[in-house]
Structure 1
Amino acid sequence: MKNQPNENNMDSRMQRRSANQQGPKQPKQHGTRRWHPWRWFWGIIILLLLVIVGFGAVAYHNINSATSKAYKSAGITKARDTKAVLNSKKPISILFLGTDTGALGRSYKGRTDTIMIATINPQTKKMLLVSLPRDTMTDIAGYPDESPAKINAAYAYGGVGTTIKTVQNLLNVPIDYYALLNMGGLEKAINEVGGVTVTSPLSFSYEGSTFEKGQTYHMNGATALKFSRMRYDDPQGDYGRQTRQRLVVEALFRKSIAVQTVLNSSFLNSISSQSQTDLTNSDLVKLAQNYRSATKNISSDHMQGQGQMINGQSFEVVGHSEKQRVTNELRTSLDLSAKTDE
């Protein structure tokens, strides 16, 4: 393995690179990381769009307007013909990404500190969500001189396209579509649906709010973000935070599928202004027509790494057997034949 540069050295190298090839300029880190929520919340909006068929022309108009604003190509050739997959009603995969921008005064490009793969299988009527640790050590697709690095740096180096290729290379799984949300959108969305109800899995206090294990709380957007932010006092660290993030998003999904939410153009526009995806309106209609039943049976998992300090940086190093387990799980959910990771 090549010597891994620390993040400051990587930032300086990226700044020099940008002068010559318009590569991304990695911003300075601003102190302790305060929160890396489930900015893949746009995935909840995608799921919300699956109810479009049932709610008629007004819902379609609102959704069409919102998703048109959010569309942006990944800028790469996909691993397979995604239109053919969707037209033939085969299982699809969506990569959910979240960035640091949009709140807490952040306006730089940032990294994708939330990374999740979703598979939707209309035949088995099941949906799978798998979280990838943001500090997973891996090679960045197209950037051999910068590899190995943390997987969340792929977005800073080369954008969504590089992130998709990096995830595909890591797990040997095709990524059909992506959806990205910056953290400025989540609080707005929670407030738009009237808050979310969540039961805390542990007791802790954070930024003036206190939560008790086993107690159920109705949270507004600000409180839900606090519930999702805390990491250092969780015995499970970032993995525990991922669990709380899942609780918030699942609660938000339950509220989002209501008819009044689908018809709420303010809600949809607040999300679309903070998001981007390469799912077109016609893609979403196909999802609504053929994949909706799968969202009623959602399971979740995460890829488990082991924390290691390498050249002054903290990484999550994922063993071969764990990576193969996740690959098998995802490929099975996509009805694809087994493949052995290197």
Structure 2
Amino acid sequence: MKKRKLKWLWITLSVFGVLILGTGAYGYYMWDKTQKTVATIHEDIDSNLTEKAIKEDKVPISVLLMGVDERSGDRGRSDSLILLTVNPNKESTKMVSIQRDTRTEIIGNGTIEKINHAYARGGAQMTIDTVENFLDVPINYFVKVNMESFQEIVDAVGGINVYNDLQFSYGGYDFPVGDITLETGEEALAFTRMRKGDTRGDYGRMLRQREVIEGVIEKGANIASITKFDNILEVVENNIKTNLTFDEMWSIQSNYTAAIKNIDKQALEGTGKYIDGVSYQIVTDEDRNTLSQKLKEHLEISSDTAKNNE
């Protein structure tokens, strides 16, 4: 039983962006090292309903995935924002991509600017507060991944398979339409970075980033060898932060795995507009409120509940 549960723990971590994989021959060494790794990457924040969410059986939860471009001496900005709402009762997960140029109020900074600036202004906490205000839903958990680590992660799992819907060349690599294999981390990074050659701009790039994340999840869930175990833990320790504890991850694999397998993907698209010489994506109140209501229903909360958690 412990062997089976640890495998699902790994897969759950991958789905939430932690990108750890499960392997075949488990022992105390792996179990102990996994716990220590999770403790290392833990980062506390002020979040809504965190204590309630996992400790009660089958309570819907929300998780914000932040792909950041941190470098030495530079906090960077959030290059990718994806909100997951996970409902174990409906056995479904909604995955919402938020374009980084979306114009909104930056909560705690008193400015109206691009949503990805929230991370540069106040880190994970300000990003969470800003997304909560923008969509009017509580965020229980976050997983922050350094986008540069995609290269190390893909190398650690030995390459991934993705679907590409646009033929293009970038960074010295050619990417045809269809199912393709990204053999190295460098190739995967090139695949996710291209933007100007795609008429969809950031939206197209977000689709490719999601393909890479899902490719790592699929590969991580099916690798049978333990030879890459230490390499992947090292990548996780160096590039990932989350407020999920080991016990909460364990609870997730027990109650939420069916929901995680059924993902409904959507993007919150806006209209491009220049304001004071700066390019933004403008999301209408109607579109934002419509999505907000769908997320509240999926989280099984009322509008009043969401407002009370602000």
What TM-score, normalized to structure 1? 0.79
Which residues in structure 2 correspond to 1:64-79 (within 5 Å)? Answer: 64-74=35-45, 76=46, 78-79=47-48
Paired residue for 2:279, among 314, 334, 342? Answer: 314
**5+ residue gaps in structure 2?**
1-12
- Measure the CA separation in 2 of the matches of 1:156 and 1:101: 10
- Measure the CA separation in 1 of the matches of 2:237 and 2:86: 22
Given that 2:17 and 2:65 are in contact with CA atoms closer than 8 Å, whether structure 1 keeps it comes out as no
- Measure the CA separation in 1 of the matches of 2:279 and 2:122: 22
Whether 2:124 is the aligned partner of 1:151: answer no
Residue aligned with 2:130, SS? helix
Partner of 1:167: 131
- 1:41 is displaced (CA, Å) by 7.2
Question: 1:180-212: per-residue Cα shift (whole Å, max 9, x none)?
Answer: 111232111111111001232111111111112
Whether 2:198 is the aligned partner of 1:234: answer yes
- Measure the CA separation in 1 of the matches of 2:85 and 2:29: 29
Partner of 2:52: 84
Whether 2:125 is the aligned partner of 1:140: answer no
Q: What letter matches 1:289 in structure 2?
A: S
- 1:338 is displaced (CA, Å) by 4.7
Residue aligned with 1:273, SS? helix
Structure 1 pair 322/55, CA: closer, same or farther in 2 (3 Å)?
farther
- 1:136 is displaced (CA, Å) by 0.9
Q: How many pairs align? A: 291
Partner of 2:258: 293
- Measure the CA separation in 1 of the matches of 2:124 and 2:31: 27
Aligned alpha-carbon RMSD (Å): 2.4
Which residues in structure 2 correspond to 1:38-187 (within 5 Å)? Answer: 43-45=16-18, 57-74=28-45, 76=46, 78-79=47-48, 81-88=49-56, 89-102=58-71, 107-144=73-110, 147-187=111-151
Paired residue for 2:168, among 196, 204, 217? Answer: 204
Residue aligned with 2:18, SS? helix
Partner of 1:216: 180
Question: 1:209-230: per-residue Cα shift (whole Å, max 9, x none)?
Answer: 1112225234321111111111
After TM superposition, the runs of 4+ consecutive aligned structure 1 residues lying more than 6 A away are none
**5+ residue gaps in structure 1?**
1-39
- Measure the CA separation in 1 of the matches of 2:15 and 2:234: 12
Question: 1:229-256: per-residue Cα shift (whole Å, max 9, x none)?
Answer: 1101112111111111111111111011
- Measure the CA separation in 2 of the matches of 1:42 and 1:272: 17
Partner of 1:10: none
Partner of 1:191: 155
Question: 1:111-141: per-residue Cα shift (whole Å, max 9, x none)?
Answer: 1121111112111111221111111111111
Given that 2:100 and 2:202 are in contact with CA atoms closer than 8 Å, whether structure 1 keeps it comes out as no
- 1:337 is displaced (CA, Å) by 2.5
Q: Which moved more, 1:295-304 or 1:168-177?
A: 295-304
What TM-score, normalized to structure 2? 0.86
Q: What letter matches 2:270 in structure 1?
A: G
- Measure the CA separation in 2 of the matches of 1:113 and 1:70: 20
Whether 2:296 is the aligned partner of 1:325: answer no
Q: What letter matches 1:66 in structure 2?
A: T
